[in-house]
Amino acid sequence: MSGGFGFPFGCVAAVVAVVLADLAGATRDPWYALVTLGPVVLLTAFWSSVTAAIGVAAVAWALDAGFVLGRAGELRFDAASALAGGVLGAAVVVGLLARSRPRVPVRVPAPRPPAEVAARRPDLTGVG
């Protein structure tokens, strides 16, 4: 996914994740929001560009700090929002590391030549 599409997709996914977390009770237990926002940021970092992932992490932090930790939409700068920033930053790093790991090529065997297949076929004619 290109960075041009990854950022808006990640932002929409982050808004949906915060709404679902809020419906699940994230205002009582703010970890619900991090559990839903973390995978959004991680997958954006894995499938999109670095700048898109950092942008989505910033938007996700703002949604968490402004609407889960601070209910009025005002950003809160306290220990809980710092922890949320650390968790979302770690999700970016893990997603980027997972994307950059070397991939083992899959070896698909070539089909056997027809002569080799015919030589291995049992003789079912009953002659000889």
Q: What is the pLDDT of residues 78-100, one digit of tens each?
A: 999 999 999 999 999 999 999 88
pLDDT at 72 (0 to 100): 78
User: What is the spatial distance between Cα 47 and Cα 121, in angstroms, rounded to a whole number?
Assistant: 48
Please state, rounded to an integer, the average pLDDT across all residues of the chain.
87
User: What is the spatial distance between Cα 14 and Cα 32, in angstroms, rounded to a whole number?
Assistant: 13
pLDDT at 74 (0 to 100): 86
pLDDT at 10 (0 to 100): 95
Q: What is the pLDDT of residues 37-69, one digit of tens each?
A: 999 999 999 999 999 999 999 999 999 999 999
